[in-house]
Copies of this chain bind each other. A is one copy, B any other.
């Protein structure tokens, strides 16, 4: 029972330089993310393999796998699991691993500066938007519309914030509401601001992995006066399946300070209004 991998975990976490930052994620969540990566890499693994690889009990492995299956990242069969088409992995695990905490909060601070009391803002289901929620508390009164459950939960606690929940079909993968019902709810609104993020950004366009998400984001773009795209530099080299919109559809594209200067220039050359958020 590989006693070297058990508890007494006082080490400051594996860290694994080169990989995304996994700190400040709950232990099981981190392990699940790592398991997911492991499964995607190996295509198909047995539960016992995972027991050995991660030094936890079978029971725990199964619990993790159940959770990952619930999120649609893997499929279970008797004896093990297989990876699902990568898109889900991308948008889920990437989201969980790739915290980029510092960048996100820099973007959020920059965004916050645009908002003034009395305004209405719309937020999408992104961690960047979530970071912004924490900063809204004292820009009151304020109206906030979002389809992101964690954001909704946080906002219910705030006084002087009119919360407009955008309902729809719940997606465990994103922990948000989507689909047609959500798009319709969005159509019925018009807010001063939209703050959103996407999974990938090319010099000319914003991209996203999933079609249903694109549906909602497009609706959001139509329903806000000033549209702000929050981009941490990790997004800039990546690519994704569906083209969401040209960057010129956004009034502002905010990038973090770590973004290479040439990439910023490339965005500007293509007509985007880019602002750099200091860390």
Residues of chain A touching chain B, judged by Cβ–Cβ distance below 8 Å, are 70, 147, 149, 152-153, 155-156, 159, 162-170, 172, 175, 177, 181-182, 184-185, 188-189
Closest to A169 in B: B164
Closest to A144 in B: B170
Question: Known contacts A181-B188, A185-B185; is A165 also within 8 Å of B163 by CB?
Answer: no
Pair B185/A156 contact, Cβ less than 8 Å: no
Q: How distant is A226 from chain B, measured CB to nearest CB, in Å?
A: 22
Assembled-state Cα–Cα distance A28/B75 (Å): 44
Pair A167/B166 contact, Cβ less than 8 Å: yes
Assembled-state Cα–Cα distance A24/B156 (Å): 23
Assembled-state Cα–Cα distance A170/B189 (Å): 15
Closest to A177 in B: B165
**Chain B residues closer than 8 Å to A156, beta-carbon distance:** 149, 170, 172, 175
Contact of A169 among B152, B159, B162, B188 (CB under 8 A): B162
Pair B168/A167 contact, Cβ less than 8 Å: yes
Q: How distant is A180 from chain B, measured CB to nearest CB, in Å?
A: 8
Assembled-state Cα–Cα distance A172/B165 (Å): 13
Contact of A167 among B153, B172, B175, B177 (CB under 8 A): B177
Pair A185/B169 contact, Cβ less than 8 Å: no
Closest to A186 in B: B167
24 examples of A-B residue contacts, CB within 8 angstroms: A70-B159, A147-B167, A149-B152, A152-B170, A153-B153, A155-B170, A162-B169, A162-B170, A163-B169, A163-B170, A164-B168, A164-B169, A164-B181, A165-B165, A165-B167, A165-B168, A165-B170, A165-B177, A166-B167, A167-B167, A167-B185, A181-B188, A184-B184, A185-B185
Closest to A160 in B: B70
